[in-house]
Chains A and B, each alone.
Chain A
Amino acid sequence: MVVFALFIISKAGGLIYNREFHSGLSKLTSNDYLMLAGSFHGMHAITKQLCPAMPAPVNPSSTAAVLAPSPFSGRPSGLEVLESTHFRMQCFQTLTGTKFLLFTEPQQPNIDSMMRKIYELYADFVMKNPFYTVEMPIRCEKFDRGLDGFVKVRS
């Protein structure tokens, strides 16, 4: 089981965190990563637009399993999983619009629980850090170490 990388994109479309765990994705310059994050932000918005059918009304039993139950249940969700031959990308958007992109192997199970754990680490070590300003690049050693420990234990 391989986790390639984690990107965090702010609600304005800027890349605020970029971390590679395993080599497997191409090496890009940091400028390229910023551009990718920005264009992904736009593509994510388009995938919402293209929704061919209105989302099904959510039944209460299933909401418990959802990572962040949305108060806007009638709104389309946008891209969640992208598959390619070499990797699989899971995108999780928080209620405030921050996007977490997790790149894994194509046949990776349990990405949802992994995403939940990463969100938890983010909430604990980034958002509760008094020296962190929102929408700014994340430089929190504890977050880094938490991710490291978590990904290593899993692989």
Chain B
Amino acid sequence: MVLYSFYIFDRHTECIYSRRWTPRPVSSSSKAARPQSGSSITSSGDAPTGRKGMSHADDEKLIFGLVFSLRNMVQKLGGDDDTFLAYRTGEYKLHYYETPTRMKFVMLTDTKQNHLRAYLHQIWANLYVEFVVKNPLAPVEHPGGIGVANELFEKGLEAFITAVLPA
């Protein structure tokens, strides 16, 4: 599986955690699709291919607005108990999970996956709640992402991605 990016949004529409993996060249090799951890983490350096003048912050805002509207559209059409799971384009697939407290977990992968709602739920329950919510030093809210990207959470996420996510 090729993983492009992962975002967490809080209930105030703010992106409190984001992580990107540089996409691999499509034709490199059929195996080893998942980027290795460590060297591939990019905070702000990699220029998104195919677009000009869009910063990562713009991306985050666009993604939030998009999943927010799609979620509302799905609820309007399918009823209140309907939830938005994922969408796919020709190039990528976006997976969505929303916690009861309206935190939103978003993951962008290649198109060949089934929806990853269960995995995003696990990230929330096993990593976010354990290492961020239960951290006595972290604030209750995370303006600007304070307290989210701590060492245990980062390590846990990395381990989760290499060990649990479908290859």
Whether, in the assembled complex, A149 has its beta carbon less than 8 Å from a beta carbon of chain B, the answer is no
B33-47 CB contacts (< 8 Å) to partner A? none
Q: Which residue of B lies closest to A78 (CB)?
A: B89
Q: B74 contacts A51, CB within 8 Å?
A: no
- The reply on A60 being an interface residue by CB < 8 A is no
Q: Closest A residue to B23 by CB, please name it.
A: A53
B69 & A52 in contact (Cβ 8 Å cutoff) = no
Residues of B within 8 A of A43 (CB): 66, 69-70, 73
Residue-wise, chain A 49-90 has the 8 Å CB interface mask toward B (1 for contact) of: 111111110000000000000000000111111111111000
Say whether A50 contacts B66, CB under 8 Å. yes
Q: Which residues of A contact B27 (CB under 8 A)?
A: 56
The smallest beta-carbon distance between A62 and chain B, in angstroms, is 12
* Set A46, A50, A54, A83: member contacting B86, Cβ < 8 A: A83
Stretch from B48-56, B118-126, B137-145, B154-162 that touches the partner: B48-56
State in angstroms the CA–CA spacing of A69 and B2 once bound together: 25
Judging by beta carbons under 8 Å apart, are B4 and A82 in contact?
Answer: no
Min CB distance A56 to B, Å, is 4
Q: Would you call A26 and B63 a contact (CB within 8 A)?
A: no
Q: Tell whether A47 is near chain B: CB-to-CB under 8 Å.
A: yes
B contacts with A, residue count (CB < 8 A): 39
Query: Inside 8 A of B92's CB, which chain A residues have their CB?
Result: 50-53
* Contact A77/B90 with A52-B5, A53-B26, A82-B70 known, Cβ cut-off 8 Å: yes
CA–CA, A16 and B83, complex, Å: 27
Chain B at the A interface: mostly helix, strand, loop or mixed?
A: mixed
Determine which of B70, B77, B88, B94 lies in contact with A25 in the assembled complex, contact meaning CB atoms within 8 Å. B77
List the B residue with the shortest CB-CB distance to A87.
B78
B5 — nearest CB in chain A belongs to which residue?
A52
Q: Does A141 contact B (CB under 8 A)?
A: no
A77 touches B78 (CB 8 A): no
A sample of 15 inter-chain contacts (CB < 8 A) reads A26-B77, A26-B78, A28-B77, A50-B66, A51-B89, A51-B92, A52-B48, A52-B92, A54-B50, A77-B89, A82-B87, A83-B86, A83-B87, A86-B81, A87-B78
- B residues apposed to A, CB below 8 Å: 2, 4-5, 23, 26-27, 48-51, 54, 59, 62-63, 65-66, 69-70, 73-74, 76-79, 81-92, 94, 108, 115
List the 10 closest pairs (A to B, CB-CB), nearest first: A77-B90, A53-B23, A52-B4, A86-B78, A86-B82, A82-B87, A83-B85, A56-B26, A84-B74, A81-B88
